[in-house]
Amino acid sequence: MVEEGLFGHLDVALVEVTGVTAEGALIPSSSVGNNNAWIDVADRVILEVNSWQPAELEGMHDICPRVPLPPDRRPIQILRPSDRIGVPYLHCPPEKIIAVVPTDSPDYATPSRATDRDSQEIAGHVLDFLTHEVRRGRLPAILPPLQSGVGNVTNAVLAGLGSGPFPLLTAYTEVIQDGMLQLLRSGTMTVASATAFSLSQDGVADLRANITAYRYRIILRPQEISNHPEVIRRLGCLAMNGMIEADIYGNINSTHLMASSMCNGIGGSGDFARNSYLAIFLTPSTAKEGSISCIVPMVSHVDHTEHNAHVIVTEQGLPDLRGLPPRRRAQQIIDHCAHPDHRSALQDYLDRATTTGPGRHTPHLLTEALSWHVRYLHQGTMRP
């Protein structure tokens, strides 16, 4: 969209790098993102050379030529996560560089936190499901590449995979978090491809202490490659992403609290949910000490439609929604995902919506569909 001019003219780009080689090549930092695009499109470039970034990052990156706009696109020749199709450096014409700014600012790191019981139970359900899929022949014994969103729940799932029956794991994802570092360190995962790190304080310390061991098993690419639909679909990724809430038909809200307050961005979850072989969404069944149900009649904001949610997991259970019509999806989600404190109210809503008239493909009571959110805003609880 920047290249198309949809945000206006890009006059100056500020790009962080780890260093500059004697030949003038730029060593990318722990996040590649869209820096190659900013360098290409901007009139002028300011380089921020960050000495906090480990020098051992050099060689970890795979910077390939940018994907051109239609009709000039060509196939992206990545057939497995370990494939490299570019060079380890960014390049910028020297005449574009108007300043070089030294810094030693560390990456932002989230506080380290222990895995809670709900996350462990969610991880157990995912492991059981993947094991079942292998036994049924719908997944190979060596799983397709994993994609994992950021958060405590997905970290717990990754930790569980480390002790599961799945050898030679790989990852093709947007960000690498603590759980993937642990899998790489143990040898359970052989390679991880991403565009950046998203680590806790402990994860940052681990990366810096063991980067020599990690550098040949981690590939950092431009975001338009790490999240590219063509590659995701070709590799058959298994996508695992957190969410704020799901409704009884499988629509997913990943970003907004009570419809209007933005909690976080969508990240790469949309790219992977729409194109992966299997799209799994994860959340505890309740929030705010049980006053909020994360399974609701209708989500207050939609990031992923029911067509892109194959499996929804809470600590209560895991329904496989593939191939089910809306009413059966709703019953499966209520039975296996909803917390018992909210399950009967959800069942009552579905039963009444189903009986209000014939021929209803996706039954809803429009006067009540968002009443759970309204009740929370007015009363501090979704409970009737």
pLDDT at res. 152? 85
* Within a domain: 282: yes
User: In this model, does residue 138 exceed pLDDT 80?
Assistant: yes
**Which residue among 103, 135, 159 closes a domain?**
103
* Within a domain: 348: yes
pLDDT at res. 159? 87
Q: What percent of the chain has pLDDT over 90?
A: 85
Q: What is the CATH classification number for the domain harbouring 348?
A: 3.40.1080.20
Which DSSP symbol is given to 315?
Answer: T
The dihedral sign for the CA sequence 148, 151, 153, 158: positive
Cβ partners under 8 Å of residue 8, min gap 6: none
User: In this model, does residue 163 exceed pLDDT 90?
Assistant: no
Tokens standing for residue 256: 């907004």
Question: Which sequence positions are flagged as catalytic?
Answer: 174
Compute the distance between CA of residue 272 and CA of residue 278 in angstroms, rounded to an integer: 9
pLDDT at res. 359? 65
* Within a domain: 25: yes
Strand order in the sheet with 12-20: 26-28, 12-20, 44-50, 97-103
Q: Does pTM top 0.85 for this prediction?
A: yes
Nearest to 67 by CA among 227, 276, 275, 239: 227
Tokens standing for residue 99: 């300043």
CA atoms within 13 A on the CB side of 346: 29
Compute the distance between CA of residue 227 and CA of residue 224 in angstroms, rounded to an integer: 6
* Within a domain: 208: no
* Within a domain: 29: yes
Average model confidence (pLDDT) for the chain? 94
Q: Confidence class of residue 357 from pLDDT cuts 50, 70 and 90?
A: low
* Within a domain: 251: yes
pLDDT at res. 167? 87
User: In this model, does residue 66 exceed pLDDT 90?
Assistant: no
Compute the distance between CA of residue 81 and CA of residue 279 in angstroms, rounded to an integer: 18
- Token match 């051109």: residue? 68
Q: Confidence class of residue 358 from pLDDT cuts 50, 70 and 90?
A: low
**Which residue among 40, 73, 103 closes a domain?**
103
Q: Which amino acid appears at position 90 of this protein?
A: L
Average pLDDT over residues 203-229: 94
Residue 281 domain boundaries: 236-384
Q: Look at the chain and report how many structural domains it folds into.
A: 2
User: In this model, does residue 126 exceed pLDDT 70?
Assistant: yes
* Within a domain: 359: yes
pLDDT tens readout for residues 39-52:
999 999 999 999 99
Direct distance between the N- and C-terminal alpha carbons of the chain, in angstroms, rounded to an integer: 45
* Within a domain: 317: yes
**Which residue among 61, 85, 103 closes a domain?**
103
